[in-house]
Amino acid sequence: MSRYKIKVCTDLTEIAPGEWNRVVQTVNGSVFYSHQWLQAYTRAAPHQSQPFYLLAYHQKQLVGILPAYLTQNCPRLTAHRQYLVTPQTTLGEPMLLAHSLYSYYGGPLTKWPDGELLTQITAEFEHLARDLDVEVYGFVNFYREDGCLLGYFRQQGYVGRFLSSAMYLPVVWSRFDEYLGHFRSKRRRNIRGMARKARQLGVRAEYVTTPPAMADMDRLMKQILHKHGHVDVNLYPTTYLQAISEDMGEAAKYLLIYSPDGKLICFFLVLDNQVHLTPWVAGIDYETLEHYEPYHFAYRWLINYAITHHYQGIDFGRSAYNFKRRYGCIKRDLSLVLNTPYQELRPELDRWSRALARFEGNDDGFLWEEN
């Protein structure tokens, strides 16, 4: 008989934020698992998704969580289904995903690394997928450090491929000069030279909880999405960002970079839980990029702030790998781990996941050896 009881609920407000967040904090989980981030995502993100929260209890204590969404018309999923692969996949929506393509990470969180607990909550997720009669279910941005699930995934017939990497900077220095000291001399000179140039030009930063004018932020955000080739540049509607600010309160902050004449030329929406900084949404005025170098300015500022205020690390997320590596970030491999209850759909599931891996430059990167 199992030691754990799994409950599925559809309303996050049924779970006290403190009870939920204690599970997240115990395992040093990502801010994307916080009660507040999930609540804002559920009520305001651009999708037609139905939430399902899987809760694992040991006696009366909440010991494991898995947020999942019956996902439909999500702009990011649309891009994965239609724009990033050729030909577009015939696999239908909705898909049951754990938990969101708007998060850096996905998968279950448990208070202790108990294989029975992890497999039981994952098995309940599969039962839910069958009850909902979806064509595809699984985990997006699965962080492979959770290795005790890999054998289970393989046994259950999941397709698992490396998809991308999150870039993480552990903060192990007591001063910014000490951080610079771990680079080679040329890189140190470059960083110091850019910092000196910014001071001379009069570039400045603010770190605030009140967002700037939404129109300015929206303009810069769409510039960076267009620059990175997104077909839909309205991934973060202002109503969604407002919900993030309202629901997350002090944990949602804005790093604002201004030109000498007071023009907003770069911003980061930073998810700040006092342990990790997570720059999540960004915008840049590309006309000022070469002269003021606001993106470099923002990275230096965040790293210095994290060191000064004794954070454990900065999670810079996906993309711009080479740029982030220059600042000392290390890769965290993320994977797509998917399954289908329909045998006739398996060839297309395999083709689609393979095409996504190739798009990200991870051709045939399996999580495990294929039979």
Q: How confident is the model at residue 320 (pLDDT cuts 50, 70, 90)?
A: confident
Rg (the chain; Cα; Å): 21
DSSP secondary structure code for residue 79 in this structure = I
For the cut 50, the answer to whether the pLDDT of residue 246 exceeds it is yes
8 Å CB contact between 198 and 258: no
Cβ partners under 8 Å of residue 199, min gap 6: none
pLDDT of residue 228: 80
For the cut 90, the answer to whether the pLDDT of residue 52 exceeds it is yes
pLDDT of residue 371: 42
pLDDT of residue 93: 96
For the cut 90, the answer to whether the pLDDT of residue 149 exceeds it is no
Domains of the chain, CATH where assigned: 4-164+333-359 (3.40.630.30), 172-311 (3.40.630.30)
Q: Which residues pair with 278 in a beta bridge?
A: 271
For the cut 80, the answer to whether the pLDDT of residue 180 exceeds it is yes
Tell me the one-letter amino acid at 311. Y
pLDDT of residue 219: 93
362 vs 95, more confident: 95
pLDDT of residue 62: 97
Average pLDDT over residues 248-260: 97
Q: What is the torsion angle, in degrees rounded to the nearest 10, for the CA atoms of residue 334, residue 273, residue 209 and residue 170?
A: -60
Q: How confident is the model at residue 146 (pLDDT cuts 50, 70, 90)?
A: low
pLDDT of residue 201: 97
Helix axes 214-227, 238-248, angle to 10 degrees: 110
Average pLDDT over residues 65-86: 94
Least Cα distance to 115 among 64, 53, 61 occurs for 64
d(CA 141, CA 162): 9
274-293 pLDDT, tens digit per residue, is 999 999 999 999 999 999 99
d(CA 196, CA 207): 20
Average pLDDT over residues 87-114: 94
Backbone angles phi, psi at 205, to 5 degrees: -130, 150
Q: How confident is the model at residue 145 (pLDDT cuts 50, 70, 90)?
A: low
Tell me the one-letter amino acid at 301. W
d(CA 72, CA 130): 17
d(CA 161, CA 237): 30
d(CA 191, CA 263): 24
Percentage of the chain lying above the pLDDT 90 cut: 82
The terminus-to-terminus CA distance of the chain in angstroms comes to 32
Percentage of the chain lying above the pLDDT 70 cut: 96
pLDDT of residue 199: 96
Average pLDDT over residues 53-71: 96
- Supply the mean pLDDT for the chain: 93
pLDDT of residue 29: 92
